[in-house]
Amino acid sequence: MADETYVKYSRALSFRRVDAHHDAALLIRFGRDLYRRSLGKEGAFYRDYGRYGVNFPVWIGTCASANPAFAKFLEEDGAEIGLVVLGFDERDRDIGRVHHFYVTPDHRGQGFGGILDDYARDVLKDAGAHRARLNVTARNRRAIRFYQAQGWAEKERRGGLIFMETRL
């Protein structure tokens, strides 16, 4: 019997800084899908970010200008498969905010969300935060289960949103 060689597939993963101008179309596409997955429709995306969603990349650019590490794409072999957008709580700089975690539909359920979560925690801690917060729509059960599995705890419910927090 001949020896069998097993080769494990290895992904080349990296984080790339968001360029709000250059990446605008991709950011809008990710933003629309993010809203669709969270709210079941994308109309609120246009309400929040203007006609065609043009203010979404502008807002992300503002986050990146506060700290270049606060807006990054996750890339697999050079293709964008995820996005993380971070910041600080406006009232308490001890609290970091996870504004958005996004993983493309074809890459969900493969561990990439955990990579984004680890990245967010490390960056926020390095930036001086001691806790991190995020909010998720109550209807987004998959995301809630993910956050709980990552150690996020529910702090309150308000207006269809669940506010979650974790120590860094």
Averaged over 60-78, what is the pLDDT? 95
Which of 5-9, 82-86, 137-141 has maximum average pLDDT?
A: 82-86
Report the C-alpha gap between 46 and 53 in whole angstroms: 5
User: Tell me, what's the pLDDT at 118?
Assistant: 97
Report the C-alpha gap between 61 and 109 in whole angstroms: 28
Report the C-alpha gap between 78 and 12 in whole angstroms: 8
pTM: 0.90
- Strand 131-137's sheet: what is its strand order? 13-17, 71-76, 79-88, 95-103, 131-137, 161-167, 153-158
The pLDDT-based confidence of 168 (bands split at 50, 70, 90) is: very high
User: Tell me, what's the pLDDT at 72?
Assistant: 98
- Burial of 19 per CB tally in 10 Å (0-12, 13-18, 19+): middle
Write out pLDDT tens, residues 111-131. 999 999 999 999 999 999 999
**13-167 CATH, one of 3.40.630.30, 3.60.130.10, 3.40.50.620, 3.30.390.50:** 3.40.630.30
Write out pLDDT tens, residues 70-96. 999 999 989 999 999 999 999 999 999
